[in-house]
Amino acid sequence: MPLSEYEASPGVSVELCAQCRGLLLDRHEIRELAGGGSLAKATEVVPVSLGDEMGMRCPKCVDPVMQPLRVRGADEVGSWQCRSCGGLWLGDGAFFHLARALRTSRQAPRILAPPTASRSPRVSKGARLTHSRSQYDQGMENLIAVPVVMLLSLLFCLTGFGRLLAFLVGMPFHEVGHATASWLSSRIAIPLPFFTFWFDDQSVLMGLIVAGVLGWLLFHTYREKNWFMFASASVVTLAWAVATFVIPPMQTLMWQILSGALGELVFGAFILVAFHFALPDRLRWDFWRWIILIPAGLCFTQAVMLWRTVSSDVSQMPWGSAIGSESDGDMNRLVQQHGWSANELADFYLNVAYLGLTALVIAYSYAAYRFIQRKTGQPPFSDG
């Protein structure tokens, strides 16, 4: 869908497809060009057979599929409305019928002059996002993927080979957990296989880099109306501010050590939860979520099983480290340098595991609810 800016009226630009001559209008553009009026009276929802994929996606919101509409008087012209932002995609010629219908319900519109060959569209300066090619709330595969992966991971981790493989798969989660805690406390850190290098002193440059990345994430998720990732980025931004400016540096060093095993639980659970939600389009999460789902399931399942075992039998505590001396292990340092007991560590990580399971159940319940909504019909559109 190659979209370009087209000045439909002085001071009002809309999105025009030069190939099919369709128009993409935001809600405010509809009102500026066509005046007020009731969209519900000017359009009607086109029923879609259960299970059929809806082929049009909103170019602005990226993920949400658009509901097919029929503009009164333009029955043969394809038109759609985005369920998220309320914008309209109008096929060639549909705008004029929409304008007439809106005029009869409220006031006269300012009629848009059709583009001609001599009046070429003005190309937008910025690159535009392409629409997503995968759905998050339609298709049985989206509904059963997480439960199936979790069940298979559980059965796999009951074997010795499965636990070994889950340990190896979980190591990147572990090291990124250390590094993330360092970054959130404005320290330079480099995660490596089986080891993470970090500086004990906080860095102003690192703090600015983290703030810039989080600011970019907040901006793009808000612009794309991706509320799941906007909320997630807001929580991480708050954690960065607290860890950098509120918590004493020695305390954040302790959290950097704690965050190795936390990474296996938190990142594993987050990926399983985020499987049902869109991330920023540039990350192409609609594709990569299928690739990382299995490692995340293995890592999270093994971590939950480990801390359940340690909580009932503290002798199973994972002392030592993968490389280096025995005393360099995370649990050894937490006990010897920061005053934790083995039982306190076991209870702490097990409680985090239960929180992750709770979040997973809530997210899956919401995903199942959305799936059922798609199957049984959509709520009516708002006129805004």
What are 101-134's pLDDT values in tens digits? 666 655 444 445 555 444 444 444 433 344 445 6
**3-state secondary structure (DSSP) of residue 171:** helix
d(CA 235, CA 242): 11
Say what the pLDDT of residue 108 is.
44
Domain definitions of the chain by residue range: 3-105, 140-376
Whole-number pLDDT of residue 190? 94
Q: Which residues of the chain, if any, have pLDDT below 70?
A: 1-14, 16, 18-21, 27-28, 30-42, 45-56, 62-65, 73-77, 83, 96, 99-135, 137-138, 281, 324-326, 377-384
pLDDT for 194: 85
- Would you call 150 helix, strand, or coil by DSSP? helix
If we measure between CA atoms, which residue out of 103, 105, 44 comes closest to residue 79? 44
Question: 327 — phi, psi (to 5°)?
Answer: -75, -5
- Reference 89, options 54, 58, 110; nearest CA is 58
Percentages (nearest 5) of helix, strand, coil residues in the chain: 55, 10, 30
Tens digits of residue pLDDT in 301-325? 999 999 999 999 999 999 887 776 6
Q: What is the pTM of this model?
A: 0.66
Helices and strands (DSSP H and E) totals, the chain: 11, 9
First to last CA, the chain: 26
Which helix (H) or strand (E) segment holds residue 18: the answer is none
Of all helices (H) and strands (E), which one includes residue 13?
strand 12-17
CA 337 vs CA 257, 307, 334, 341, 342: distances in Å = 11, 22, 6, 11, 13
Q: Are 262 and 349 in contact (CB under 8 A)?
A: yes
Say if CB 277 and CB 230 are below 8 A apart: no
